[in-house]
Amino acid sequence: MAIGILAFGCPSPKVTKYETMAYKSASPENRLKIEQGKIDVGMSIEECKVSCPGCQFLRKFTNMKEYELWEVIGSGKDLYLHVQNGRIEKVAVKVAKPPRRLFGH
């Protein structure tokens, strides 16, 4: 039995969003957004990840001027995040494209 514990270790307790560095270092406004599960302007990507742990965050684009485009999928959120200098500048709802018409009908 002792070998099993040494081999696998003790399970570590799950960290709550309130114990993360992103939450602890967030501004009071962003802490409230995290508590409410929101993703909004002024937040960092790390704060967004804590706010929506069930979401997938995919970096789609980065350029030399520290501009990034992220896509968020999951938990009822389909968003694009425009990030500049580490903070969200704009949140855009991802809209599904209508199907293409064939033969001009």
Measured at the CA of 52, the angle between CA 47 and CA 55, to 5 degrees, comes to 120
Domain assignment present for 30: yes
CATH number where 43 lies? 3.30.1450
Domain membership of residue 30 as a residue range: 16-93
> Which pair of structure tokens corresponds to residue 72?
């968020």
Summarize the confidence of residues 11-34 as an average pLDDT.
88
Let me know: does 52 contact 23? Beta carbons within 8 Å.
no
Question: What average pLDDT is seen over the chain?
Answer: 85
Which segment of 58-62, 81-85, 96-100 scores lowest on mean pLDDT? 96-100
pTM: 0.76
Which of these ranges, 2-6, 15-19, 57-61, has the smallest mean pLDDT? 2-6
d(CA 26, CA 23): 5
46 domain-assigned? yes
Pairwise pLDDT comparison (75 vs 36), residue with the higher score: 36
